[in-house]
Chains A and B, each alone.
Chain A
Amino acid sequence: MATITHEEAHVHAHGPELQHQFETPEQQKEAATLGMWAFLVTEIMLFGGIFMAYIVYRWAFPEAWEESAALLNTPLATVNTVVLLVSSLTVALAVNAAEEGNKRRLLTMLALTMLLGLTFLVIKGYEYSEKFAHCAGAKDPISWITGSDLHESHECLVPGRGFLFPEEHGATGGSHGAAHTASMQSGHQLFFLLYFCATGLHAIHMIIGLGVMSAITIMALRDRFSPTYFTPVEIGGLYWHLIDIIWVFLFPLFYLV
């Protein structure tokens, strides 16, 4: 019984947001932040495996890397980079607004962040569908969907059985034997496989990030935050920054080789 009274006293002494296992709000906040940082380390190690594979295969197929990177849509990715960097700013401003207890600005910034995140995903989705459309023999995603203007596919950059690296971008000069082409194909295929894996995993994180941001927005709408308690905004922001930073590495590694 003693413990229950103790707990009740505990809850009454502080706000309802203080969970039972913590003594003070500061302790709760520090624990949450530390936990998030540790989680970010884990995330970096998760991507680290893909970066390792990237190093190994770039070392093995330097020409394939150069030729393949040229076929990615760099202008769109540049726009995306800008979009993400701006979203990092809006998240930082959201945290700042939460700290000041400015609910309206907090909601605006969260909405902006989600809008930018969504824009990123739409552009990324367009980039992916471009590659898939080429496999289907269409010029761009729109003609792929409408089914017009289909022709013989001469380029398919989606890894798999149909993978076809366009001739004109391949190695010029030297032998054009079948074995040579096959090994060239595999280097290029590995590039695009890593591209799809890395950016796909990044996009999954982005979708989760959007979910996190929506949850935080709902909490903000319900007035859960105050200048003394805004830990979810802060750690959600950390997660969002991580997504941005990973993209900052992916962009030069794949698009600007």
Chain B
Amino acid sequence: MSTISLPQSSYIRDNSRTFIDWLKSWLLTVDHKRIAILYLLSINFFFLLGGLAATLVRVELITPQGDLMSSDVYNRAFTLHGVIMVFFFLIPSIPAVLGNFLVPLMIGARDLAFPRLNLLSWYLYMIGGIFALIAAVFGGVDTGWTFYTPFTSTYSNSNVVMSITGVFIMGFSSILTGLNFIATIHKMRAPGLTWFRLPLFIWANYATSIIQILATPVLGIALLLVIVERVWGVGIYDPALGGDPLLFQHLFWFYSHPAVYIMILPAMGVISELISTFSRKRIFGYEFIAFSSIAIAILGFLVWGHHMFVSSQSVYAGLIFSFITMLVAIPSAIKVFNWTATLYKGSISYRTPMLYALGFIGLFVIGGLTGIFLGVTAVDLHVTDTYFVVAHFHYVMVGGTIMAYLGGIHFWWPKMTGRMYNEIWGSIAALIIFVGFNMTFFPQFILGYLGMPRRYHVYPPEFQILHVMSTAGASILAIGFIVPLIYLAISLRKGAIAGDNPWGATGLEWKTSSPPPTFNFDKTPIVTEEAYAYPPEAAERDAASWRPGSPL
């Protein structure tokens, strides 16, 4: 295949003559790659919106007094940040964008098993998003993203029903994506592509899909009951009417704890791909990484009670939840050790995706270890609802998921668009994000340990220095997120033509042209070897051809 020009026909090109035809060809498409692009645009829009709300929060916290906004407005700002980021960015981010684009390509299929369902799930996502936006525009919500009852069901005077409806609808989009992936991965693998030859990204998405179809409906019903309670004024969760607010917490965390793994598991899949490709080595302990994804998915269902150590749940239940929480550390650690072992004696090249992957490992270790602190009931009682918790989950969600998301976008950008991004700017942005991220969230560990509670807009003056550091870091982080937007946009026109396989990676997605044709492969590929089959001498060859200043 030529490396000088883009392929004549690809999924991006079509022969529509008018603008309306072109618009229709995108909005009514059933091509998984086009749907992935639709998701990419809409999810990034919501990411920027959530980021804007975070900016408001951080700016308010520069001074100990509440000078920019009232406590009520502040509540609405952090709720907007939480709801948008969790439900409309983190949960769909990697599965819906990268997963949609890559699952059929990686398994050698022409499309997902249910292409129309796939389009429907994008529309559901958008409808849910519009509900959330309307709720935000008409005054916002002040309950926090966790929608705890009885505040949500009885006392809050904000647009609870509207935003809950949005989240409810978005949940179905998530279910349908999971359903589609499960059927696709089971039934549409190319000849010869056995389960243990699958890329680990597929395993990770498979585990994620299981969580999506099992946990999301429970959130749906929990939120539906909140709506019923608000609209009809009957007590499901309101203790004054005989209800039990704890029931909501149980149902909510039964979804929302596994949801954390919906966010991180696909990210781990991306990292497995990146680490192996940029070390030029077969991944270490393939089966262990694959099964650790499944183990995390299963254990993830059994630990929801660790969000409720300070609720009235029984101490014995708390102890058991605490113990199982510790168990989650095992498969997580297996992954980290295996990635590290893959790096050992590999030919490591510090291209932008690899910078994100290495950043991921470091930040995820910090996020994961502080998770163990929080899983210990004694420590948790001390730091519950403090910035320690905030810092912990941002290390996992931002330091983990967003790093992997960006790493994955850079890695597969040439496949999606056919063009390379600017490597120098890419590396600079990755470093800015890494520095900005740590500066934003590390001080929050200290703040939380010293007793700064979350969700307060005024605080004692002695915390100011740490808060200012955090806000300064957030400004750097914001720059780090904007820079890629610019150079990626520029690369669409000016980027070098990538060719089919710019990274010399294994995997079926690199065997077709970039960008791929509508039906992915000219003829169905046949797989005869394991994933990550880098020849033993690949690392040495890379080392020999290395020259100073070469990005590879």
A residues in contact (CB < 8 Å) with B: 1-3, 6-7, 19-23, 27, 30-32, 34-35, 38-39, 41-43, 45-50, 52-53, 56-57, 60-61, 159-161, 163, 183, 185-187, 189-190, 193, 197
Contact = CB atoms under 8 A, between A and B. Distances in A.
Given A3-B9, A34-B182, A49 B217 contact: yes
Given A49-B218, A160-B234, A42 B247 contact: no
Nearest to A1: B9
Contacts of A38: 178-179, 182-183, 213
A221 B221 CA distance: 37
B243 interface: yes
Contacts of B509: none
B186 A159 contact: no
Contacts of B228: 193, 197
A52 B242 contact: no
B522 A46 contact: no
Interface string B235-254: 11000011110010011000
Interface string B93-118: 00000000000100001111111010
Nearest to B214: A45
A198 to B, nearest CB: 10
A186 B232 contact: no
Interface in B206-244: 213-218, 220-222, 224-225, 228, 232-236, 241-244
B179 A39 contact: yes
B77 to A, nearest CB: 30
B216 A31 contact: no
Interface string B294-329: 000000000000000000000000000000000000
Contact of B247 (A56, A159, A186): A56
B180 interface: yes
Contact of B109 (A2, A21, A187): A21
Contacts of A19: 115
Contact of B186 (A34, A161, A190): A34
Most buried by A among B216, B221, B242, B519: B242
A61 B242 contact: yes
A103 B242 CA distance: 55
Given A2-B522, A49-B218, A185-B242, 9 more contacts: A3-B9, A32-B183, A34-B182, A35-B179, A39-B213, A42-B217, A45-B213, A47-B221, A159-B234
A35 B242 contact: no
Interface string B515-529: 001110011100000
Contact of A189 (B109, B221, B235, B247): B235
A190 B9 CA distance: 61
A56 B254 CA distance: 15
B519 A3 contact: yes
B179 A45 contact: no
B187 interface: yes
Contact of A187 (B175, B242, B251): B242
B184 interface: yes
A243 B179 CA distance: 19
B220 A46 contact: yes
B136 interface: no
B178 to A, nearest CB: 8
Contact of A50 (B117, B221, B519): B221
B522 A3 contact: yes
Contacts of B9: 1, 3
B233 A161 contact: yes
Given A21-B115, A22-B188, A48 B233 contact: no
A53 B236 contact: yes
Given A35-B183, A38-B183, A160-B234, A21 B244 contact: no
Contact of B114 (A35, A53, A187): A35
A190 B236 contact: yes
Q: What secondary structure prevails in chain B residues at the interface with A?
A: helix
A180 to B, nearest CB: 13
B340 to A, nearest CB: 35
Contacts of A183: 242
A61 B232 CA distance: 21
B189 to A, nearest CB: 10
A163 B234 CA distance: 10
A96 B233 CA distance: 48
B92 to A, nearest CB: 17
Contacts of A42: 175, 179, 213-214, 216-217
Contacts of B213: 38-39, 41-42, 45
B184 A31 contact: yes
B245 to A, nearest CB: 11
A1 B519 CA distance: 11
A19 B178 CA distance: 20
B218 A45 contact: yes
15 contacts: A3-B518, A21-B115, A22-B188, A35-B113, A35-B179, A38-B182, A45-B217, A45-B218, A49-B217, A53-B236, A159-B232, A159-B234, A189-B234, A190-B242, A190-B243
Nearest to B228: A197
A32 B216 CA distance: 21
A1 B513 CA distance: 13
Contacts of A7: 519
Nearest to A55: B247
Contacts of B250: 52
A190 B235 contact: yes
Given A61-B242, A190-B236, A197-B225, A21 B113 contact: yes
Contact of B187 (A30, A52, A190): A30
Nearest to A44: B217
Enumerate the 4 nearest inter-chain pairs by beta-carbon distance, A residue then B residue, closest first.
A186-B242, A49-B221, A46-B217, A21-B111
Contacts of A46: 217-218, 220-221
Contacts of A193: 228, 234, 236
B475 to A, nearest CB: 42
Contacts of B247: 52-53, 56
